Amino acid sequence: MLAIDLTGKRAFVAGVADDGGFGFAIAKAMAEAGATIVVGTWPPALGIFQKLLERGKMDASMQLARGGRLEFEHIYPLDAAYDTMDDVPPEVRESKRYLGQGDFSIAGVRDRLRTDFGVPGIDIVVHSLANGPEVKKPLVDTSRRGYLDAISVSAYSNISLVRELAPLMRPGGSFVSLTYMAGERVIPGYGGGMSSAKAALEADTRTLAFEAGRRWGVRVNTISAGPYASRAASAIGFIDTMIRYCEENAPIPRRLEAEEVGHTAAFLASPLASAITGSVVYVDNGYHAMGMAVLPEPQVS
C-alpha cells in the first residue's frame, strides 16, 4: 500500500486561529499522516484560540481518524507583517492585543523554533496567511497603503519565511502556501490588492523554488484552492456567491471540502512529491480549466 507517511517530521503551520480554515485542515491532515504540529497564530486572535482549545470547544474537530487527537507542540504568536521587532510601530507594540506576547515577528518565530527543536528541527512550513485591509474596495480605488499591506502579509511574508526557516530544515524540507484563482483571472469584488498579492505569491513560488532549492535543497509549492467559507474568507463579503458559482460551473459540480486541500498539502510535503517544486497545484474541482460559464439547461414547456 502506497501511503502518505510524515512520521518523524515536524510541520510549522503559520496562520491557524480556529478549526474552520485551510490552515487547520492542513495541520490535521499532516497529523493524520504522522507529523507533529507547531502553529503560528496572529497575536490578537491568540487568546481566543487558546480559550477555544482549553474549554474543549474544538474537541470534535481535533479527533483524528487514525485514533487519538491533534495536539499542537507549541502555539507561537506570529504577525507576519513584521520581519523583526524593530519593524513594529510603537502603537502596535503598546496595544493591549500585543502586550505580553514577546517577539511575535518572523524572526521571533525562527528563534523559538531553533530554541525549542534545535537545528535542524523542522521539515515542513505551511504559509496560510493572507490579509487585505481594503479587500472590499475595487483595485482602482485601493490606497497605496492598503495595496502594500496586502502584498506584505499575503505574499512577501512567504519570502521571509523561506529565508528564515529553510536553514532550520532537515534534508527534504518542503514549503507550501495557499493562493487563489484571482491571481490569474478577474474575480470582481476580490479587491484591495489581494489579486495582485496572489499573483506575486505564485510568481515568487517559482523563483523561490529555484533559489531555495539550490541554496538549501528545499521544495516550494503553492495550492490554488477553490473558494471556501472560512472565517477569513467571509470578510470578502460575497463568499457564498463565489462558492455557488464555482459549484455550478466546475467540471465536478460540488462544493470544495477543506480536508481536500489538507490532503494535497500533506502529499506535497511528503516524499511521494519529492520531484515536485515550483508548482501551482489546483484543488478546485477543476474550475480553473473552464473558459466559459455553464449555460443553463433549456426549459421545456
CATH code of 156's domain:
3.40.50.720
Rounded to an integer, what distance in angstroms lies between the CA atom of residue 6 and that of residue 9?
6
What does the pLDDT average to over 257-284? 98
Condensed to tens digits (0 to 9), the pLDDT of residues 114-145 reads 999 999 999 999 999 999 999 999 999 999 99
Mean pLDDT estimate for the chain: 95
Tell me if 258 is assigned to some domain: yes
Angle between helices 106-117 and 157-165 (to 10 degrees): 30
User: Is residue 101's pLDDT more than 90?
Assistant: yes
Tell me if 73 is assigned to some domain: yes
Q: Domain count for the chain, please give it.
A: 1
The reported pLDDT for the residue numbered 297 is: 72
Are 134 and 83 within 8 A, CB to CB? no
What does the pLDDT average to over 51-70? 95
First-residue to last-residue Cα distance in the chain:
54
Tell me if 293 is assigned to some domain: no
66: confidence class by pLDDT, cuts 50, 70, 90: confident
Q: Interior CA angle at 283 toward 219 and 78, to 5°?
A: 55
User: Is residue 19's pLDDT more than 70?
Assistant: yes
Condensed to tens digits (0 to 9), the pLDDT of residues 155-188 reads 999 999 999 999 999 999 999 999 999 999 999 9
User: Is residue 229's pLDDT more than 90?
Assistant: no
pTM of the complete model beyond 0.75 = yes
The reported pLDDT for the residue numbered 41 is: 98
User: Is residue 230's pLDDT more than 80?
Assistant: no
- Catalytic residue flag (residue 190): yes
Tell me if 1 is assigned to some domain: no
What does the pLDDT average to over 105-116? 98
- Catalytic residue flag (residue 82): no
**Which member of 190, 228, 282, 287 is catalytic?**
190
SS3 label, residue 230: coil
User: Is residue 299's pLDDT more than 70?
Assistant: no
Name the residue among 298, 282, 166 with its Cα closest to residue 224: 282
Domain interval for residue 22: 10-283
Give the strands of the sheet with 122-127, arranged side by side.
72-77, 36-41, 10-14, 122-127, 169-179, 219-225, 280-283
DSSP state of 298: P
The reported pLDDT for the residue numbered 296 is: 76
The reported pLDDT for the residue numbered 1 is: 76
**Which member of 82, 147, 180, 228 is catalytic?**
180
Name the residue among 203, 190, 232, 206 with its Cα closest to residue 42: 232
What does the pLDDT average to over 196-211? 98
Tell me if 297 is assigned to some domain: no
Tell me if 201 is assigned to some domain: yes
Identify the H or E element spanning 224.
strand 219-225
Rounded to an integer, what distance in angstroms lies between the CA atom of residue 23 and that of residue 11?
12
Tell me if 4 is assigned to some domain: no
291: confidence class by pLDDT, cuts 50, 70, 90: very high
Tell me if 70 is assigned to some domain: yes
Q: How many helices (H) and strands (E) does the chain have?
A: 10, 7
The reported pLDDT for the residue numbered 301 is: 62
The reported pLDDT for the residue numbered 233 is: 65
The reported pLDDT for the residue numbered 300 is: 65
The reported pLDDT for the residue numbered 198 is: 98
